[in-house]
Amino acid sequence: MKLAVLLTVLTVMQVRAVSFAQTVTLNARNVPLNEVMRTIQAQTGYLFFLTGKDVAYTHVTATFRNEDLHRAMDKVLAGLPLTWDMEDGTIVIKPKPTVTRPSAGVSVTQEKLTQQREVTGRVTDRDGHGLQDVTVAVQGTAVATATDAAGNYRIAIPDGEVTLIFRYVGFDNSEQAVGSRSRIDVQLQPSVSDLDEVIVVGYGTQKKGQVTASVSTLAGETITQGPVANINNSIAGRVSGVLAFQESGEPGADAANIRVRGIGTTGSNSEALTIVDGVPRSFSQLNPNEIESITVLKDAAAIAPYGLAGANGVVLVTTKRGKAGTTDLSYNGWDGVQRPTRYPDYLDAYGFATTLNAARANAGLAPQYTEEQLQKYKDGSDPDHYPNHDWVKEVIDFRAPMTSHNFTFTGGTDKIRFFSALGYLYQQGSVDVINFSKYSLATNVDVNATASTLVSLDVKARLETTKNPGSIDGTGIYTQVTKQPPLF
């Protein structure tokens, strides 16, 4: 019995000795102490506790190899006004006590410390398992520590309003206001990576992290942020490898031609194949509030299911459907004005007549307008006989109004889900006799008839009205206006 007790004591003492005899290798030149302690923690597994920002910012220069922990710590703090101790398996580093001599000549030992307190706690995942090496930092300072294998931490914070930040790879950051608490337990939530995003590819869906082909996705919320009358015009500049060419700005006919990575086929049609909810058709006049996502398939691997039809790229549009949850009614509307991006400045009547005389003189002809006539064009004293019309400003509206109003209604349960969208768009052209208006309706209902049967009903309708002179289009009006001299 005595022999068993003796062996047990010797075993415990041996384990204890091995625990404190771990070796440390370090090569640090003017490195902050908190970084040095992180290196020691990685080699030994011991947590560290630095009492204050001044201690954490202290720079250390030390080089040694395979030193035991005690000698390593002594060498790290050699020549520094710091001391260390081992408390409950944690290396605690704090300033050395300083000696002051009052006027009475009596020696008094004081510890030069800032007002600080200690906070402890445990960091776990949503299943309650401790997380190791979680960074616990005081916001706005260099004071930080890390959790041990069980997720426990210990950190010194200054008095006052302090916020702790918990960071760990693969999890969302957590910020905790300390207040008067001395223990803070935190449960970190896994972060949702872009690689887990589900995207539409070909005739199905895949997680983004599993897609090896060249695919880009544009969310519907991004599209509604831009006040455009035609959805084609909202893709340009938002998806890499996609070019949009707008040949006209006329209301109702201002859809851009979409090309994915240039031209892939010969012939008259070089546009990408557009498919809406599995049906090949144009999506330019869809209500932006109906769209869930737009996916662009670019390379051969992505467009393979579409064969030759997808040689110029494929644009897949997925519209919104009802989701189980709270019933939601929302409104989205905006008003704006349109104007030409650039427009040349034309000569007035006097400049036109003067230039015409100069042209005739260069051709060896007599001037068409006398000096008296030029003066009347210049001073405008006889506008009936010598008019000065700026036809561009009189015909073209440089602040053409445009407005859009949309309502969406969605909701449902696990059994029945619905989505409805009602939209109105009005777009006046730069010439007020040309305008475009559109009413759109989209509604769908999904019913889980049985555990394996889904019944869906979709209704889509659109009423468009385009008004123009009939005998001439917008381009023709622009051409005629710019050709008219200001003298008429």
Give the H or E element holding residue 395. Answer: helix 391-395
Lowest mean pLDDT among 13-22, 187-196, 225-234: 13-22
Torsion of CA 353, 359, 361, 367, to 10 degrees: -30
The CA-based angle 195-201-206, given to 5 degrees, is 40
For 253-358, list the strands marked E by DSSP: 257-260, 273-276, 279-280, 291-297, 314-319, 325-338
pLDDT number for residue 329: 92
Distance CA 441, CA 462 (A): 6
Is pLDDT of 142 > 70? yes
pLDDT number for residue 269: 72
Chain centroid to CA 227: 19
Mean pLDDT of the chain: 80
Give the H or E element holding residue 202. Answer: none
Is pLDDT of 55 > 70? yes
Lowest mean pLDDT among 172-176, 228-232, 268-272, 275-279: 268-272
pLDDT tens-place string over residues 171-196: 888 999 998 888 999 999 887 554 44
**CATH topology classification for 195-319:** Ferric Hydroxamate Uptake Protein; Chain A, domain 1 (2.170.130)
pLDDT number for residue 204: 53
Is pLDDT of 405 > 90? yes
State residue 290 phi and psi, 5-degree precision: -85, -20
Distance CA 93, CA 83 (A): 6
CATH 3.40.640.10 for domain 22-110: no
Torsion of CA 81, 87, 90, 95, to 10 degrees: -10
Of residues 286 and 225, the one with the higher pLDDT is 286
Q: Which residue in this structure is represented by tokens 């959790």? A: 147
Q: What is the CATH class of 116-187?
A: mainly beta
| Average pLDDT score over residue span 75-99 | 77
| Average pLDDT score over residue span 408-427 | 93
How many CB atoms are closer than 10 A to CB 60? 22
> What residue type is 457 in one-letter code?
L
| Average pLDDT score over residue span 138-143 | 83
Length of the chain (residues) = 488
Band of residue 108 on the pLDDT scale cut at 50, 70, 90:
very low
Lowest mean pLDDT among 40-44, 95-99, 241-245, 445-449: 95-99
Is pLDDT of 201 > 80? no
Angle in degrees, 0-180, between the axes of helices 69-76 and 33-44, rounded to the nearest 10: 170
Band of residue 456 on the pLDDT scale cut at 50, 70, 90:
very high
Which residues, 6 or more positions from 157, have their beta carbon under 8 angstroms from its beta carbon?
116, 117, 118, 119, 138, 143, 164, 178
Q: Which of 230, 211, 231, 205 is nearest to 220 (CA)?
A: 231
The CA-based angle 368-374-375, given to 5 degrees, is 160
Domains of the chain, by residue range, sit at 22-110, 116-187, 195-319, 325-339+399-474, 349-389
22-110 matches 116-187 in fold: no
| Average pLDDT score over residue span 39-52 | 80
| Average pLDDT score over residue span 114-136 | 86
pLDDT number for residue 239: 81
Indicate yes or no: pTM above 0.85: no
Which residues, 6 or more positions from 116, have their beta carbon under 8 angstroms from its beta carbon?
51, 52, 156, 157, 158, 159
Alpha helices, H only, 48-113: 53-57, 69-76
Of residues 150 and 199, the one with the higher pLDDT is 150
Band of residue 408 on the pLDDT scale cut at 50, 70, 90:
very high
Distance CA 79, CA 391 (A): 87
